[in-house]
Chains A and B, each alone.
Chain A
Amino acid sequence: MKVDKDLIEKVAKNARLNLTETEIKEFLPQLKEILEAFKEISSAKVEKLKPSFQPLEVKDITREDIPKNCLKQEKALQNTKHKQDGYFKGPKAL
């Protein structure tokens, strides 16, 4: 795998970030160095182990499907200026 400008731009696009030329120039050697160091985990012998997505075993907890009190619509909208008729207003989809 080659960590270069194209790869960083592709990843940044996926992450909805526009990087400036100055940022790319600064990040590129840093990300190369970090990813090189991270490769170290490839030496760990873990073929027979299961992944731990949580540090402790977490069991699924279910509840009855009964509506409960939730945040009032105006409260949910109190932190945005992008709203209309009680809904969030977003940018164009296309």
Chain B
Amino acid sequence: MNIQEYLEKVKNREISIVKIVEKITKEAKSSPNHFTAVANSHAIKRAEQLEKNPVGNLAGLPISIKDCICVKDLDSTAGSEILQNYRPPFNATVIKNLEKQGAIIIGKTSQDEFGFGSFSVNTKKIPKNPYDQTRSCGGSSGGAAAFTSYTKQPHIALAESTGGSIANPASFCGVAGLTPTYGLISRYGLIDYANSLDKIGTLAKTVKDAFLGLYNSLSYDEKDSTSLTQTISKEKKVKKIAIVKESLEVDKDIKDLILSKVKDYDLISLPNVKKHAIPTYYIIAMSEASTNLAKYCGIRYGATSDLKGNFDEFFSSVRSKHFQKESKRRIILGTFARMSGFRDAYYLKAQKVRTLIINEYKKAFKKYDILISPTMPIIAPKFSEIEKLTPLENYMLDTLTVGPNLAGLPHLSLNAGFKEKMPVGIMLTTNHLEEEKLRTLGEEIEDN
């Protein structure tokens, strides 16, 4: 039963929302670490209310929420020990919007700590890929994508991308992952990684359902200073497409799968994206992260200890004990890039290179509606393979997703087929606010 059929049945009172919620929360609990918290009693209570009065576009639809998005009175830890037991006294704006439309929150999905990672291994309970549990489900929204693939019930996942954290796990788990234009969905209530890059988006089994999640998440929000006043363009027609030449320098099977999905395309070269996107992305992301993470000091929420020593000693001891290794690495690199003497060469230079990259994309979109590439250069790696990677090798694997994320461009990853029985994702990128074009081509690829 797809989501449309389910919502129709709910409307006609032909199905029990409570039974669906009971089934999906059971799946969530038994899934291989896809959830950090399951909101069993809250979800059943909501289901009972909605069964009596099924109001809203999403009435009765179960939705999972990435752990970094605040849900009132539900543990929201962004996958980090330093936020252990944190229960927000408020809802993120996107949660308010979805609940207003009758969505039922079933729990929080697992992720890399604060979104720092591409394989969801930088957290305590590592989620496993439903296709092969010896492999990663990608990251950082690993639990969200894995459960979207795993569940047999109607469901949409709400997640977040900074440098590819929706597209990457969507590719590894064979589902649709939609990252909208920067600023389209309010970030109020999102536990931030890097403010100028973070975007809330959706994952679902189909492109249509990922868009259903998007449409019901939107609103201008005065609580988010970067919330856009404009909305999605109505233009749906896709006239010209191009494949990014440099993105085809991947495994031959992956390249062939991508080429088999697209007809009538040009090849385009994006040399600045290829050359500069990885260092530019990581310098900006780490710089912003290092300031954002300054607030975790054991006073207002999360992990703490007895108040001993002066503030320097106390803050340092809490932070050193509860941040994981990858967070420490990124805090140090980000702090370094912003320090006097290094700021111009790293942080400021990276922001200028971002302009160069945005300009390169803008020029491409004067001629083409959509740019295509594989989502990831590899299939989901085994955990034993990930252990052998250095941090830099880890970062380099984001090479195809960081470009659109740096430029705040909407992009959609969907399944293009399989290699060694593991899913391979194709990524479509379009200009700001032209999400409808992604839907047109995405559905076309899905149907063929």
Binding site for B on A (CB under 8 A): 1, 7-8, 11-12, 14-19, 23, 26-27, 30-31, 33-35, 37-46, 49-56, 58, 61, 63, 71, 75-76, 78-82, 88-94
Q: Smallest CB–CB gap between A86 and chain B, Å?
A: 14
Would you give 17 A-B contacts (Cβ < 8 Å), ordered by A? A8-B332, A11-B332, A14-B335, A14-B339, A16-B319, A17-B332, A27-B332, A31-B332, A34-B391, A44-B272, A44-B275, A45-B356, A54-B196, A55-B196, A55-B408, A80-B300, A91-B314
- List chain A residues, Cβ under 8 A from B222: 61, 63
Chain B positions 320-352 with a Cβ under 8 Å from a chain A Cβ: 320, 323, 325, 328-329, 331-333, 335-337, 339, 342, 345-346, 348-352
- Which of B85-93, B114-122, B126-134, B211-219 is the interface stretch? B85-93
Cα-based distance from A82 to B309 in the complex (angstroms): 14
Residue B407 is within 8 A (CB to CB) of chain A in the complex = yes
- Is the beta-carbon distance between A80 and B310 smaller than 8 angstroms? no
- List chain A residues, Cβ under 8 A from B352: 44, 46, 49-52
Cα-based distance from A56 to B228 in the complex (angstroms): 9
- List chain A residues, Cβ under 8 A from B320: 17-19
- Is the beta-carbon distance between B335 and A93 smaller than 8 angstroms? no
Q: Smallest CB–CB gap between A42 and chain B, Å?
A: 7
- Is the beta-carbon distance between A53 and B310 smaller than 8 angstroms? no
Also in contact, A15 and B304, with CB within 8 A (given A53-B351, A55-B358, A93-B311): no
Residue B313 is within 8 A (CB to CB) of chain A in the complex = yes
> Which residue of B301, B313, B323 contacts A80 across the interface (Cβ within 8 Å)?
B301
Q: A41-B283, A56-B181 are in contact. List 9 more A-B contacts (CB 8 A).
A: A18-B320, A19-B320, A27-B329, A31-B332, A46-B356, A53-B196, A91-B308, A91-B309, A91-B315
- Report whether over half of chain A's contact residues are helix, strand or loop; otherwise say mixed: loop
> Which residue of A19, A56, A78 contacts B328 across the interface (Cβ within 8 Å)?
A19
- List chain A residues, Cβ under 8 A from B31: none
- List chain A residues, Cβ under 8 A from B337: 38
Q: Smallest CB–CB gap between A17 and chain B, Å?
A: 5
Residue B355 is within 8 A (CB to CB) of chain A in the complex = yes
- List chain B residues, Cβ under 8 A from A49: 352, 355-356, 359
- List chain B residues, Cβ under 8 A from A50: 352, 355
A17, A42, A45 pick with most chain B CB within 10 angstroms? A17
Q: Which 4 A/B pairs are nearest by Cβ-Cβ distance?
A: A55-B408, A51-B351, A79-B301, A91-B314
Residue B226 is within 8 A (CB to CB) of chain A in the complex = yes
Residue of A nearest to B72 (CB): A75
Q: Smallest CB–CB gap between B316 and chain A, Å?
A: 5
B323, B333, B409 pick with most chain A CB within 10 angstroms? B333
Q: Smallest CB–CB gap between A81 and chain B, Å?
A: 7
> Which residue of B325, B346, B356 contacts A38 across the interface (Cβ within 8 Å)?
B346
Chain B positions 261-306 with a Cβ under 8 Å from a chain A Cβ: 272, 275-276, 278-280, 282-283, 290, 294, 297-302, 304
Residue B354 is within 8 A (CB to CB) of chain A in the complex = yes
- List chain B residues, Cβ under 8 A from A31: 329, 332-333
Residue B390 is within 8 A (CB to CB) of chain A in the complex = yes
Interface string of B37-65 (1 = CB under 8 A from A): 00000000000000000000000000000
- Is the beta-carbon distance between A56 and B408 smaller than 8 angstroms? yes
- List chain B residues, Cβ under 8 A from A81: 304
Residue B1 is within 8 A (CB to CB) of chain A in the complex = no
Residue of A nearest to B432 (CB): A56
CB-based A-B contact count at 8 angstroms? 179
- Is the beta-carbon distance between A33 and B392 smaller than 8 angstroms? yes
Q: Smallest CB–CB gap between A32 and chain B, Å?
A: 10
Residue B312 is within 8 A (CB to CB) of chain A in the complex = yes
- Is the beta-carbon distance between A46 and B315 smaller than 8 angstroms? no
Also in contact, A56 and B276, with CB within 8 A (given A11-B339, A17-B319, A82-B304): no
- List chain A residues, Cβ under 8 A from B350: 41
- Is the beta-carbon distance between B183 and A56 smaller than 8 angstroms? yes
- Is the beta-carbon distance between B329 and A55 smaller than 8 angstroms? no
Chain B positions 77-136 with a Cβ under 8 Å from a chain A Cβ: 85-87, 89-90
- List chain B residues, Cβ under 8 A from A88: 299-300
- List chain B residues, Cβ under 8 A from A1: 342
A45, A61, A63, A79 pick with most chain B CB within 10 angstroms? A79
Residue B225 is within 8 A (CB to CB) of chain A in the complex = yes
Also in contact, A44 and B182, with CB within 8 A (given A15-B335, A17-B328, A33-B392): no
Also in contact, A30 and B392, with CB within 8 A (given A14-B335, A16-B319): yes
> Which residue of B290, B300, B353 contacts A41 across the interface (Cβ within 8 Å)?
B353
A16, A23, A55, A78 pick with most chain B CB within 10 angstroms? A55
> Which residue of A17, A26, A58, A76 contacts B316 across the interface (Cβ within 8 Å)?
A17
A16, A46, A50 pick with most chain B CB within 10 angstroms? A16
